[in-house]
């Protein structure tokens, strides 16, 4: 039986208050939040869970841990979100859940998803890991489905090093998550907390757009050596749940989260303005900027995706030029080294997602990105050819 530290509880309350939802539950990572929601919905052996074939494999793991089957739907090319025209044919008698992932921050077509789900008696979970604060028809993302989850890992809308949050307005789901946490959630170890504290300090002091590429390669190396708390351990590339997977947040993360929430409005404003500047500068260069339905969508992007013809070369050159360039998603189930078949994905299943993963690079939008950085990044990227 677990009792929650006061600071963690106040972080959860501030988070749910910020989104104006019933309850929030914090976890060690976003994927743990998804696991808790799926479990609360009773997803188990033989059930099917629908999600876009353009996601992070860490999102698929909780489905597999529960013995359910991931069913992938291809994306529509402009927003990289689930193509709702393809959705009905993927629903079977075994479908329990549709995961509506708001990719890069673009809201999914929630009207269509909620409508299809209601007609087929399927629950909707929103994956808001890349989309904190965005709106669809004036309503904030995360409040459309039965529950939603968020990530506060290094690259996310705001970071607590690692971290996840589940939210719900459904008192039955809330009660089930609460019981699950009380009965079986473990706490981070002392070593994990010390390492994460040090990493957060390094991040605050040294990680700026020019240093990001170098920092990421050092970080990946240290993760493999077990010298830092990485986002994903090697064991997480197999669909078998580790003994310590179901873990809560540390007070260090909750303290950081409380600080970040105070700055969230400014963070969101910055992301909107910076994305708009990319739109304008790319258009000046003759590139096609973001294409989405402005009458219904008000996105807050985590990164700004562009499709280019020379993805591998651009990523290599960016690292040398001190340009922060993201590679998400490198594969229909990011990252590139994911053993796709183990996760029930056969190449050819989602052609649009496969094309996107070979073309998309993403430009930074986080609070440390200045106007000068945006201009330098656009100059850099426009040396390549836009594709798609
Ligand atoms: C779309 C999406 N959902 C969920 C997750 C999982 O989040 P976390 O790393 O906090 O477990 C990721 C991972 O980065 C992601 O990209």
Per-residue pLDDT reduced to its tens digit, 17-76 = 999 999 999 999 999 999 999 999 999 999 999 999 999 999 999 999 999 999 999 999
Q: How far is the CA of 285 from the centre of ligand 1 (A)?
A: 33
Ligand 1, atom 16, lies closest to the CA of 56
Strand order across the beta sheet in which 139-140 lies: 139-140, 135-136, 297-298
Buried b (16+ CB within 10 A) or exposed e, 47-72: bbbbbbbbbbbbbbbbbbbbebbbbb
Residue 55 alpha carbon, nearest atom of ligand 1: 1
13 in Cβ contact with 257 (< 8 Å): no
- Say if ligand 1 is within 6 A of residue 101 CB: yes
315 falls in which pLDDT band (50, 70, 90)? Answer: very high
With pLDDT > 70 as the criterion, what percentage of the chain qualifies? 92
Task: Say if pTM beats, i.e. exceeds, 0.85.
Answer: yes
C-alpha distances (whole Å) from 69 to each of 45, 64, 163, 373 are 8, 6, 25, 43
Q: How far apart are CA 310 and CA 318, in angstroms?
A: 12
What is the structure's pLDDT at 197?
Answer: 87
- Residue 365, pLDDT above cutoff 90: yes
- Residue 233, pLDDT above cutoff 90: no
What is the structure's pLDDT at 5?
Answer: 87
Mutate to test the pocket of ligand 1, among 36, 57, 129, 230 (most ligand atoms within 8 A of CB): 129
Q: How far apart are CA 18 and CA 43, in angstroms?
A: 29
Q: At what angle do helices 171-184 and 30-40 cross, to 10 degrees?
A: 110
Residue 379: strand, helix, or coil = helix
What is the structure's pLDDT at 1?
Answer: 45
pLDDT digits (tens, 9 = 90+) for 12-29: 999 999 999 999 999 999
Q: E strands along 293-372, which residues?
A: 297-298, 303-307, 333-334, 360-364
Residue 33 alpha carbon, nearest atom of ligand 1: 11
- Say if ligand 1 is within 6 A of residue 129 CB: yes
What is the structure's pLDDT at 202?
Answer: 77
Mean pLDDT, range 281-294, rounded to an integer: 98
What is the structure's pLDDT at 257?
Answer: 97
Residue 153 alpha carbon, nearest atom of ligand 1: 10
Cis peptide upstream of residue 283 (ω within 30 degrees of 0): no
223 falls in which pLDDT band (50, 70, 90)? Answer: low
- Say if ligand 1 is within 6 A of residue 236 CB: no
- Residue 2, pLDDT above cutoff 70: no
Q: How far is the CA of 4 from the centre of ligand 1 (A)?
A: 24
Cis peptide upstream of residue 42 (ω within 30 degrees of 0): no
Mean pLDDT of the chain: 93
Mean pLDDT, range 346-367, rounded to an integer: 97
Which region among 222-231, 259-268, 310-319, 327-336 has the lowest average model confidence (pLDDT)?
Answer: 222-231
Mutate to test the pocket of ligand 1, among 81, 101, 151 (most ligand atoms within 8 A of CB): 151
Q: Which two structure tokens, joined as six digits, stand for 258?
A: 């409380």
Q: Which two structure tokens, joined as six digits, stand for 381?
A: 């990227």
């Amino acid at each position: 039986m677990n009792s929650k530290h006061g600071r963690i509880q106040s972080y959860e309350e501030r988070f749910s208050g910020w989104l104006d939802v019933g309850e929030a539950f914090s976890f060690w990572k976003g994927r743990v939040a998804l696991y808790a929601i799926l479990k609360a919905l009773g997803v188990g052996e033989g059930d099917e869970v629908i999600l876009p074939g353009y996601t992070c494999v860490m999102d698929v793991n909780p489905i597999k841990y529960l013995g359910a089957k991931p069913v992938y739907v291809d994306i529509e090319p402009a927003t990289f979100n689930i193509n709702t025209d393809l959705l009905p044919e993927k629903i079977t008698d075994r479908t329990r859940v549709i995961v509506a992932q708001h990719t890069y921050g673009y809201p999914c077509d929630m009207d269509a998803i909620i409508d299809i789900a209601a007609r087929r008696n399927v629950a909707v979970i929103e994956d808001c890991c890349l989309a904190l604060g965005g709106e669809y028809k004036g309503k904030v993302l995360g409040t459309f489905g039965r529950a939603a989850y968020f990530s506060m890992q290094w690259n996310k809308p705001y970071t607590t090093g690692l971290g996840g949050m589940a939210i719900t307005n459904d008192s039955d789901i809330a009660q089930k998550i609460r019981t699950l946490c009380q009965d079986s959630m473990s706490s981070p170890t002392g070593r994990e907390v010390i390492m994460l504290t040090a990493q957060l300090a390094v991040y605050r002091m040294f990680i700026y757009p020019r240093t990001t590429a170098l920092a990421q390669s050092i970080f990946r190396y240290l993760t493999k050596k077990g010298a830092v708390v990485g986002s994903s351990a090697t064991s997480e590339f197999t669909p078998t749940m580790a003994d310590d997977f179901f873990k809560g947040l540390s007070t260090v993360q909750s303290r950081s989260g409380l600080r970040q929430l105070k700055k969230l409005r400014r963070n969101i404003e910055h992301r909107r303005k910076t994305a708009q500047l990319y739109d304008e500068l790319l258009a000046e260069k003759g590139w096609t900027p973001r294409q989405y339905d402005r009458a219904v969508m008000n996105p807050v992007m985590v990164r700004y995706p562009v499709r280019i013809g020379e993805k591998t070369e651009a990523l290599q050159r960016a690292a040398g030029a001190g340009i922060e360039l993201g590679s998400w998603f490198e594969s229909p189930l990011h990252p590139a080294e994911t053993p796709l078949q183990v996760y029930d994905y056969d190449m050819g299943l989602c052609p649009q997602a496969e094309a996107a993963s070979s073309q998309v690079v993403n430009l930074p939008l986080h609070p440390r990105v200045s106007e000068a950085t945006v201009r330098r990044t656009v100059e850099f990227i426009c040396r390549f050819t836009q594709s798609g």
